[in-house]
Amino acid sequence: MEKRTIIAVVVSMIILLFWSRFFPTRRTPPVEKKVAPVPEIEERVEEIEREERVSPRALQLEKEAKRVVVITDTSRIVLTTQGARVLEWSIKEKENKVDLVLESFRSQGILPLDLEIEGFPGLSQAHFQTEKEERVLEEGEEGEVLFNYRLGEGLLLSKIYRFSYEGYLQGLEVRIHNQSQFPKQIGNLTLLWQAGLGTDEALLKENTKMMKTQGKIDGMVSKKLKPSIYTGKIDWIGVTNRYFLAAFINRRGDFSTGRVESFDKHTPVVSLIAPSSILPPDQIKSYKIDLLVGPKDFRYLKKLNIDLERTLDFGLFGFLSIIFLSILNFFYKVTYNYGFSIIILTCILQVFTFPLTRKSFKSMEAMKSLQPKINELKLKYKNDPKRLNVEMMNLYRSRKMNPFGGCLPMILQIPIFWALFTMLRNAVELRHSPFIFWIKDLSMRDPIYVLPILMGATMFLQQKLTATGDPAQSKMMMFMPVFFTVIFLNFPSGLVLYWLMNNILTLSMQLIMKRKSKVKA
């Protein structure tokens, strides 16, 4: 098999794997013809549909429920007195915000941070009491929101949310106060995050397939936790998607069991369970956890020193991705533009991989000089494939050439591409980060496809520059740029920018080396 054909096949397989993994086929639902209703009728239809999904008692409780709004430097959290749960948890991003509570669950009354206590059913519909309505934290300030509910039998249940102005690390405490004169049996206590994890509207379909549960149990960080019961030392457990996570951090060890369930095919439910206990008279039983609800910012998570940064899915060559991300963030402090930082990173990588590029180019040029001889052998032994292979290997040996010499340097660069691919695709730093002109978000595709088209054009020029004149390679030269361009149309702009700059720099080096080889000749 010809060297360039091998390269094409290897790279094609890799790209196909990327495509199938990250861009599964999406079916467009059939369009239903509907008569445009009058607004008042439309509102009533929506109300009837909602009443069919939710019980009348639940609707009544929801109407009676009060809301408490908490605003910090990084988040906007809306709590409801119905179950003392979370109605909204929005993360501030530059000029935007993203709500991590999925509307599809919120409309059904399924909310995060639900509480279950064995022997006391219906707490999610219970109407808690609170005095707060809004809390806007100032710089350096901390605050709390207290919800109370009487369980009966002399037991007072409290849910206390604690918030900090900076960062994404918040707290939750559940207290049970036995105000009676008799000991009380407190059953297993469970905290649940059961409403999935949201993201931008444009990424919701993809997000549903990327949600998973991860945790650190007995010192081991999981890539994905399957539905099961987990016991042992649970440091943290939570739900993640590409850019965000919601994690229970069990610092005090009040919870001894973790549980992962499936709400539906794509939505996991994660919970922490504390064991039952006997509560003496006039005593308080307290259960504390920390909550981290926010973006998977590598630098921020690393500072927490509990391995939460490993929720970033950087893949097989993650250690390289982390190095590249650190370099990218370093240059961002200089350029204040992640697009220019990607260009600088590409230039640095080109310097380090230049020996491989040079070796690959030399091998290709040597193969090109042998092409007339190879064509003669093919014509001479066209009816004897075995003899043809033997003669070709003899020819390579006589010239001290390796037919795979141009392919191996390319294969050695695959880890770099893979690490960059996963880093640029998963780094939250690129979200809503503009480059220039029409590129307003480096984490999204180019809206007018200029970058992928330029990338395909530079790839075509590369193929033409190194073509050997072989007809099979000429066909491949035409096919590969088109193939890559089509695939890169939906890739993040940041990744396409890297590939385009890589092509431009490689092409420039090849032109310089070609000119030098002509001078030597």
The domain segmentation of the chain, as residue ranges, is 68-311, 321-520
The mean predicted confidence, pLDDT, of the chain is 81
Is the pLDDT assigned to residue 336 strictly greater than 70?
yes
Tell me what pLDDT residue 330 has: 94
**Mean pLDDT along residues 387-392:** 79
Sign of CA dihedral 382, 387, 390, 391: negative
Strand partners, 286: 175
Give me the mean pLDDT over the 129-148 stretch: 91
d(CA 292, CA 249) in angstroms, rounded, equals 7
What's residue 123's pLDDT? 93
pTM for the model: 0.77
The pLDDT tens digits for 400-446 are 666 665 566 567 678 888 888 888 888 888 888 899 889 998 988 89
Higher pLDDT, residue 233 or 3: 233
- Cα–Cα nearest to 423, from 353, 342, 489, 483: 342
Say if residues 419 and 314 touch (Cβ distance below 8 Å): yes
Burial class (CB in 10 A: 0-12, 13-18, 19+), 268: buried
Does 49 have pLDDT greater than 60? no
Can you give the pLDDT at residue 408?
A: 60
pLDDT at 83 over 90: yes
pLDDT for 15: 52
* 68-311 topology per CATH: Beta-galactosidase; Chain A, domain 5 (2.70.98)
pLDDT at 132: 80
Average pLDDT over every residue of 65-93: 94
How far is it, in rounded angstroms, from Cα 165 to Cα 104?
A: 29
Q: Which of 197-201, 222-226, 229-233 has the lowest mean pLDDT?
A: 197-201
- Cα–Cα dist 94/84, whole Å: 29
Higher per-residue pLDDT: 93 or 372? 93
What are the tens digits of pLDDT across the range 446-486? 999 999 999 999 988 887 776 655 566 666 667 788 888 89
Query: Residue 187: exposed, middle, or buried by beta-carbon count in 10 A (0-12, 13-18, 19+)?
Result: middle
pLDDT tens-digit map of 299-331: 999 999 999 999 998 888 889 999 999 999 999
Q: Is the pLDDT of residue 173 over 70?
A: yes
Distances (CA, A) of 68 to 139, 243, 382: 20, 27, 82
Assess contact for 246 and 197: CB atoms under 8 A. Answer: yes
Predicted pLDDT at 487:
87
Q: What percent of the chain has pLDDT over 70?
A: 81
pLDDT confidence of residue 377:
78
